[in-house]
Amino acid sequence: MPERTVTVASRSGLHARPAKIFVQAVARQGTAVRIRVGDGKPVPANSMLAVLSLGAGHGTEVTLDADGPGAEEVLDSLADLLSRDLDAEEVPGA
């Protein structure tokens, strides 16, 4: 199964805004994506609760996996998202 390992770049980690932006992006893809920390149990990445419960702070390495058609592109775009500091980006419409 295709995987991407990426370091969480957002200052607040996968929490608050970054977690929200990430989970919303996963939900928009429509592909089942899982996320884990290290060798931990993979959890569904479209669940805010599951993502928050990873406790992935700034600088934590997380691994994404997905299966099926378009999985590679989906993982690339999500990995790119996690490698940016989402706390620093403008609130849309604000």
Partner 1 sequence: MPEPALDVLRGLGISPGRAAGRLYKMAGPPLLPAPAPVADTGAETALAVRGLESAAGELTARAEGVADPAAREILEAQAMIAADPLLRESVEQRVAAGSDAAHAIDAACAEHREALLAAGGYFAERASDLDDIKNRAVAAVLGLPMPGLPSPGHPFVLAADDLAPADTVNLDPGVVLALVTEKGGPTSHTAILARALGIPAVVACPGALSIAEGTWSSVDGGTGEVHAGIDERTAAEVERSARADRDRLATATGPGRTADGHPVKLLLNIGSVADIPAGSPGEGVGLFRSEFLFLDRRTAPTHQEQTGAYEAVLRAFPEATVVVRTLDAGTDKPLPFLGLPEELNPALGVRGLRVSRRSPEVLDAQLDALAEAARVSGTSPWVMAPMVTTPGEAADFARRARARGLADVGVMVEVPAAALHAHRLLDEVDFLSIGTNDLSQYTFASDRQHGELADLLDPWQPALLQLIAQCAEAGRAAGKPVGVCGEAAADPLLATVLVGLGVTSLSMSARSVPAVRDSLARHTLDQCREHARLALAAADPDGARTAVREAAAA
Q: Which residues are catalytically annotated?
A: 15
52 contributes a contact to partner 1 by CB under 8 A: yes
CA distance 19 to 86: 9
Shortest Å, Cβ 38 to partner 1: 14
Q: Does residue 88 belong to the site contacting partner 1 (CB under 8 A)?
A: no
Please say which residue, 60 or 83, places its beta carbon nearer to partner 1: 60
Q: Does 12 bind partner 1 (CB under 8 A)?
A: yes
Among 57, 59, 68, 70, binds partner 1 (CB under 8 A): 57
Q: Which residues of 4-28 are buried (b: 16+ CB within 10 A; e: fewer)?
A: bebebbbeebbbeebbebbbebbee
Using the rule CB under 8 A, is 24 a contact of partner 1?
yes
Q: Which residues does 3 contact at the CB level (< 8 Å), separation at least 6?
A: 63, 64, 65, 75
Q: Phi and psi for 81 in degrees, rounded to 5?
A: -60, -45
Q: Output 47 or 83, the one with its CB closest to partner 1.
A: 47
